[in-house]
Structure 1
Amino acid sequence: MIRRTAALAALAALACAFSFANAPSAAAEGELSPVMVVLDSSGSMTARDVGGKGTRMDAAKRAVGSMVDGLPAQAQVGLAIYGAGTGSSGAEKAAGCRDVRVVRPVTTVDKAALKRAVSATKASGYTPIGQALRTAAAQLPKEGQRSIVLVSDGEDTCAPPQPCEVAKELSKQGVDLHVHTIGFRVDANARAQLACIAQNTGGTYHDATDADSLLGVLGRVTERALRHYEPTGKPITGTADPVTAPTMTPGQYLDTLDPVEERFYAVDLKAGDTAYFAATAVFPRGNPRDLEVLDIKVTGPNGADCYQSERELNTRAKDGGSLTTMLSWNGTVAGSSKPKGCSVPGKYVFRVTRDARGGGADRVPVELLLRIEPPVTGSQGEPAQTSLVEFAQPPAGAVRGVRGGGSFNEATTLSGPGRYGETIYYGEELFYRVKLDWGQGLAYRVTFAGRPDGATTNIRTGLFSPIRNEIRFDTTAYTGSTKVLPSNGKPIATPRAVYLNRNANDSSLRKASVDGWYYIVVKLGVASGDTPPGGVPVTVDVAVAGDKVAGPEYGGSADETPAASPTPEPSASEPTPSGSTTEAGGPIGNDDDARPTSDESSMLPWILAGAGVVLLLAIAVTVTAVVVRRRKPPTPPTYPGNPMQGWPNQR
């Protein structure tokens, strides 16, 4: 093992405390997060909508009505309206800029009352977006996951306060308050303002070009705010030119991409480094296109073509969810057979391309994850594995209630082997994670219970490595009968994780060559036709096999500290009973074993920064530049019976 000085150990601990690269926490407490909807009723909403279907206000009323009809019965939703109480003359501006009315407070949704209130609204006045945001935020709880969904057809006409400045104020109220904005037939200036509000609060921006698109986008954004994928990362803007690409250090970043756009990002690599660069695009439910493509390509110093790229596609993007592509690059590692211009230390550029042609002009958030692995200078650890973990026997015991997270960042910890269950709703994508030390592997399967009135849709599950490399997935149709994924009866599995797996010929073995958090993703597609009330019970059976062993011995200079993989401790879904065993019969320990740790012998070391790492991390103590989404531990729901009846798989 590598010996570290006290200074390096302190640096590793500090890095662990402030890193967000692999720092998810459990999903928010409770079933659904409270949401405040803010609706523009200013004078500009009296303009005729495209196609002669009435005014913009008529379109907004239909969209709100449709959104309300689709809300779960237990949803906590409120509604505020601005611009409906005055005219738009100069003499009325002072009053108009205070004209924000809370139509319904945040409480268990009363669908009929909400629709009556909206139906009675008339558009007439000013556009006090900044004041409306403050009013809406005041209606929400002071802590916990909560969201504002704002619909506007134009810029604020009342500043001050400037909406972007108000958004910055709101961001200081807690990382769990997000504003999602919808621009209804807006111009470039209004779009920029609304996008600024979203970006400063960790929310998302969406365009609605006509009544039909507003009807779709309002519903899906509100549903997503109730329980959704929360994009996370330090804001970054990639360039259209590789020469001017911003230089990234290891961590997680957040950018946005148009339907057809490429962005460039630079990374400095030293001799022996391996870079892992992942991009995760986040799509809203009701995405305009079914087919989304996300591509990553790497070029070397001085623009050398490294002839390596990775591409993934999502053929059900209209259901919402995410799409992840990961490219690993080890050109500077001794013995690699990369092109001449790509085998030397220097500045490498990663190009990320989103390709989604046809329909809509929506930008989507894209998470960028960069991890750099230093060279191994000592032992490489255990020999490569030649087989996948299997279920020696199905997990026994009662199903433990969990609440899946909405993203990689918020994946709920499954504390070792066992059976975990909850209800998944139509259109949801749930994330769980299992920690594997060196020498450990996992196998799992997912069962979607049958329900007589179940809608026809797709189901899917996928397993991702700590570097967001999808190891395997399975998908099939769900029509209401019990379905198990994978549908071939064999579990989705990894080998026992060892460093030398990266040299295996089998990709399923090769992808488990790092230790850390492995992610189980479960998705129930959007129903075709009417969505039945309630969801589908789902059970995830997990086996963990193997004992913890010594990992590879990494090298690195003082400014290339191979510190422990940075992951603050989340809340586990439920303690694992003491004495529970692995698939192979050995003890896996208690709940603490399933939590992130700074133990240097168990977590893959990553370079955290370049020459200024000590100074940068010290600054981070007082000024945290990253966006870290932390949530309360989930309250395990009661689980009605055993839902092991059947589920379908889908992508």
Structure 2
Amino acid sequence: MSAVGAAALCAVMAFQAPGQAGAAAGGTSSPNPGPNASPYAFAEGATSVDGAQNSVDSVRLTPGATYKSSLARGGKVYYQLRLDASETVYVSATAVPGLDAKVAYGDGVEVSLQDANGNNCDSGDARFGTSQSPRPISAWAVRAVGPAENRCKAAGTYYVVVERNSDPGSSTETWDTELRVVSEPGVSKRGSTTPPDSWNSASPTPADGTREERRGGTGFNDARALKTGVWGDRIKPGQTLFYRVPVDWGQQISASAELGSASGGRDEYVTSALVMSLANPVRARIDDADTAYDGQQKTTALKPVAPVAYENRFSPMDRVAGTRFAGWYYLSVHLNPQVARQFGKGPLDLTLRVNVDGVAKEGPAYVGTARPADEFSVTGEDEDAAVRGETDAGSGGGSGNGKGDGDAMKVVAAGGFGGGALLLTVLGVWTLIGRRRAAAAASASTANGS
């Protein structure tokens, strides 16, 4: 075996280390969490930072990175960004209350982006709402650069302000938070700043076909990849499952979630029992839907959202403005813990019907590279990841485009096989990897379904 061939083979094995292979096959990062375990899979390699009580002491965040922090009840903390005059930057904060936390209708998290003079560039919030059920929720804000923007355009220091809104009677414990900073480059030529005045807003026909089992992840970072189809899972009261779908420029995503019937139970129902949310590649919430549950099968569906287009960002409607770029779109499904009181603590059947309609179109001509790279595109590797049902575990808080297998094969191809013996060796490695994945998948499925 040549030195180049050996290096290529080592690259394959490095890309598919046992831990990563297991993460790709398993449905969640922790199938049987302990009583004090987090209900959310934080990004591997995320930097831990403390929010400051004032702007002067704030820690600087970097576009393209993911951070882990915390937020006390009624707390307000600051972080810092240093931005140039050409990049649009999105900051999201995902708040993660404990599984047994008590949350009220108005409890939630708010994120603001401010300039050095304290002027708001943008702000957004997320609340638990009628479900009053603890689960990961995300708020976001953007510092936008473009012809339609009149503020926060200059290069300089900006501040991220994260605030926890608390209703009386809610729990006092501190929430973990995950901060993600994403930079979108400018475009080479100015296009329309008018959002589309018409698009197919009719309720889509739900996907049909054979139900295929795919275990959801427990956060954005290990979300299970899906394509158009009918997908089956099991969800426990209090659990939140995450999935991701590649949606390209010009395409339109739609989804519904059906909770299966329960045996036994009382003649009562739980309001906002099943909550489904849709978020875009920067984790900005686009829409959500929920349904009550009385032990009979129930379905909830997202309202139609606009096809992905750059000019959607100029719309005042979230369901249009949210579909402003291509990439991974995230579905999360939460089952209210109150369901356990009426129908038992065991998992219930969950069916997701996912549609991605439309032909992919050419995207805008970006000048520069997004951070993380490839954040606002759909590649062939992304589509393959959706076919295989990969998770994003092991991405280290990066773009999460599921490119591990494809990149490894590119390394092998670039190094050259150098002969039939090396080819057989490489194929043997891939066979072993496939067996390990299958075994891990079976193990995870057994653990998660218990």
* TM-score class, shorter: 0.7 to 0.9
Deviation at 1:289, TM superposition (A): 3.2
Residue from 51, 72, 75 that aligns with 1:261:
75
Q: Partner residue of 2:285?
A: 470
**Residues 443 and 542 in structure 1, CA contact (< 8 A), matched pair in contact too:** yes
State whether structure 2 residue 342 is matched by structure 1 residue 345: no
Residue from 357, 363, 366 that aligns with 2:174:
363
| Alpha-carbon distance in 2 for matches of 1:465, 1:636 | 31
Q: Partner residue of 1:374?
A: 185
Provide the secondary structure at the position in 1 that maps to 2:353: strand
**Residues 423 and 535 in structure 1, CA contact (< 8 A), matched pair in contact too:** yes
| Alpha-carbon distance in 2 for matches of 1:548, 1:355 | 40
Provide the secondary structure at the position in 2 that maps to 1:321: coil
Q: TM-score, normalised by structure 2?
A: 0.72
User: Residues 289 and 632 from structure 1, CA distance in 2 versus in 1: closer, same or farther, beyond 3 angstroms?
Assistant: farther
Provide the secondary structure at the position in 1 that maps to 2:187: coil
Q: Partner residue of 1:426?
A: 237
Q: Partner residue of 1:234?
A: 47
Q: Partner residue of 2:126?
A: 312
| Alpha-carbon distance in 2 for matches of 1:498, 1:551 | 8
Q: Deviations over 1:274-321 (max 9, x none)?
A: 1111100011122033342211122212x3323642222113686331
Letter in 1 for 2:96: V
| Alpha-carbon distance in 1 for matches of 2:193, 2:153 | 27
**Residues 28 and 222 in structure 2, CA contact (< 8 A), matched pair in contact too:** no
Q: Partner residue of 1:395?
A: 207
| Alpha-carbon distance in 1 for matches of 2:27, 2:148 | 52
| Alpha-carbon distance in 2 for matches of 1:26, 1:435 | 20
Deviation at 1:466, TM superposition (A): 0.7
Residue from 299, 320, 328 that aligns with 1:509:
320
**Residues 123 and 142 in structure 2, CA contact (< 8 A), matched pair in contact too:** no
Q: Partner residue of 2:352?
A: 540
| Alpha-carbon distance in 2 for matches of 1:452, 1:407 | 29
Q: Partner residue of 2:428?
A: none
**Residues 296 and 351 in structure 1, CA contact (< 8 A), matched pair in contact too:** yes
Q: Deviations over 1:486-519 (max 9, x none)?
A: 3xxxx43332211111123433111100111001
| Alpha-carbon distance in 1 for matches of 2:60, 2:237 | 40
Deviation at 1:377, TM superposition (A): 1.7
Greater C-alpha Rg: 1
Deviation at 1:358, TM superposition (A): 4.0
| Alpha-carbon distance in 1 for matches of 2:59, 2:444 | 48
State whether structure 2 residue 246 is matched by structure 1 residue 249: no
Q: Partner residue of 2:26?
A: 29
Letter in 2 for 1:514: F
State whether structure 2 residue 147 is matched by structure 1 residue 329: no
**Residues 61 and 79 in structure 2, CA contact (< 8 A), matched pair in contact too:** yes
**Residues 72 and 164 in structure 2, CA contact (< 8 A), matched pair in contact too:** yes
State whether structure 2 residue 303 is matched by structure 1 residue 498: no
Deviation at 1:31, TM superposition (A): 8.1
**Residues 287 and 319 in structure 2, CA contact (< 8 A), matched pair in contact too:** yes
- Provide the alpha-carbon RMSD of the alignment: 3.7
**Residues 381 and 551 in structure 1, CA contact (< 8 A), matched pair in contact too:** no
Q: Partner residue of 2:441?
A: 635
Q: Deviations over 1:257-286 (max 9, x none)?
A: 111211111112211321111100011122
Q: How do residues 63-212 of structure 1 correspond to structure 2 at under 5 angstroms?
A: 149=34
| Alpha-carbon distance in 2 for matches of 1:451, 1:521 | 22
**Residues 235 and 254 in structure 1, CA contact (< 8 A), matched pair in contact too:** yes
Provide the secondary structure at the position in 1 that maps to 2:140: strand
State whether structure 2 residue 365 is matched by structure 1 residue 549: no
Residue from 90, 99, 104 that aligns with 1:285:
99
| Alpha-carbon distance in 1 for matches of 2:437, 2:158 | 39
| Alpha-carbon distance in 2 for matches of 1:523, 1:296 | 23
Deviation at 1:534, TM superposition (A): 2.5
| Alpha-carbon distance in 2 for matches of 1:32, 1:242 | 35
Deviation at 1:556, TM superposition (A): 3.9
Residue from 295, 305, 316 that aligns with 2:110:
295
Deviation at 1:324, TM superposition (A): 0.8
Q: Which has the higher contact order (CA 8 A, sep 6+)?
A: 2
Q: How do residues 1-40 of structure 1 correspond to structure 2 at under 5 angstroms?
A: 29=26, 33=30
Provide the secondary structure at the position in 1 that maps to 2:136: strand
| Percent identity over paired residues | 25
Unaligned residue ranges in structure 2 (runs of 5+): 1-13, 390-399, 405-435, 446-450
Provide the secondary structure at the position in 1 that maps to 2:319: helix
Q: Deviations over 1:505-564 (max 9, x none)?
A: 43311110011100111111112536515322111111111222211112249xx88942
State whether structure 2 residue 249 is matched by structure 1 residue 438: yes
Q: TM-score, normalised by structure 1?
A: 0.51
- How many pairs does the alignment contain? 371
Provide the secondary structure at the position in 1 that maps to 2:104: coil
**Residues 444 and 541 in structure 1, CA contact (< 8 A), matched pair in contact too:** yes
Provide the secondary structure at the position in 1 that maps to 2:158: strand
Q: Partner residue of 1:519?
A: 330
**Residues 309 and 327 in structure 1, CA contact (< 8 A), matched pair in contact too:** yes
User: Residues 532 and 285 from structure 1, CA distance in 2 versus in 1: closer, same or farther, beyond 3 angstroms?
Assistant: same
Provide the secondary structure at the position in 1 that maps to 2:329: strand
Letter in 1 for 2:277: G
Q: How do residues 452-471 of structure 1 correspond to structure 2 at under 5 angstroms?
A: 452-454=263-265, 456-457=269-270, 458-471=273-286
| Alpha-carbon distance in 2 for matches of 1:508, 1:402 | 27
**Residues 113 and 158 in structure 2, CA contact (< 8 A), matched pair in contact too:** yes
User: Residues 28 and 530 from structure 1, CA distance in 2 versus in 1: closer, same or farther, beyond 3 angstroms?
Assistant: farther
Q: Deviations over 1:133-192 (max 9, x none)?
A: xxxxxxxxxxxxxx6x5xxxxxxxxxxxxxxxxxxxxxxxxxxxxxxxxxxxxxxxxxxx
User: Residues 366 and 534 from structure 1, CA distance in 2 versus in 1: closer, same or farther, beyond 3 angstroms?
Assistant: same
User: Residues 553 and 337 from structure 1, CA distance in 2 versus in 1: closer, same or farther, beyond 3 angstroms?
Assistant: same
